[in-house]
Amino acid sequence: MPGRFTGRAAIVTGAARGIGAATAARLAREGAQVLLADRLPAVTDAAAAIGGRALAIDLAERGAGERLARVALDSFGRIDILVNNAGIGGSRALAESDDALIERFIDTNLTSVLRVTRAVLPHLPRPGGRIVSVSSVFGIAGVPGTTAYAVAKAGIAQLTRQLAAELGPTGILVNAVAPGVIETAMTEGHLQKDYYRRAVLEPTPLRRAAKPEEVAAVIAFLASEDASYVTGQVIGVDGGWLAGRHLPRDGE
């Protein structure tokens, strides 16, 4: 839908690749000015490819949210949309998680989102501002061996509901997506493992992983005027994994 975001400015974190890069490209294609933020140097190339602005930054560092907001305002003069996508994978069972691992997952996947959102919030238009965050099906259903990651993503889901309740009267809408198995660099290694495919991918009713662009399409909807009466929702983009399990026939 060309022009849906004309005149609007967006920040997309974790935008060097995967869901973040696809979301930034989708918003730009529909007219938005986009600031792509990521700690990976590849964010520069991702931004150049769509005519956006790049910021190489570790969002887990204190003050990163304020710096991100300042760069967006200096670049575009406004911030209309915040997409909280940055995060890391590779968690473990709690018994196998030392303090450093727990802190890394909580700091990167949850605390940084709180700080970035807090820093950007004063600059979002009222009404009209949009916050869309990336949670996970692992933050909704229990999946063994992913404790710190799952807890952080569950925090994103609750943050979405909390902010929707707080900010609704101002006209700022807050939603999230909960992706299932997506073909990204984070899942590439897992998808090669027979156990992972049998445990997570094969039970998915649609029987496949999603492309990052399929998640980006839902994020773009939530950031648009088409979702003007949608807030506080965590929408599964998971091929039906949360709704029910595919039961293979004999021999499958």
Per DSSP (E only), the strands in 102-160 are 130-134
H-helix or E-strand containing 93? none
**Cα–Cα distance list, 155 to 105, 113, 144, 168, 228 (Å):** 12, 10, 17, 19, 24
The C-alpha atoms of residue 41 and residue 54 are separated, in whole angstroms, by 9
CB 82 within 8 A of CB 132: yes
**67-88: b or e for each residue (b if 16 or more CB lie within 10 Å)?**
bbbebbeebbeebbbbbbbbbb
- Give catalytic status of residue 196 as yes or no: no
Sheet holding 81-84, edge to edge: 53-56, 33-38, 9-13, 81-84, 130-134, 173-179, 234-237
| Residues known to be catalytic | 149
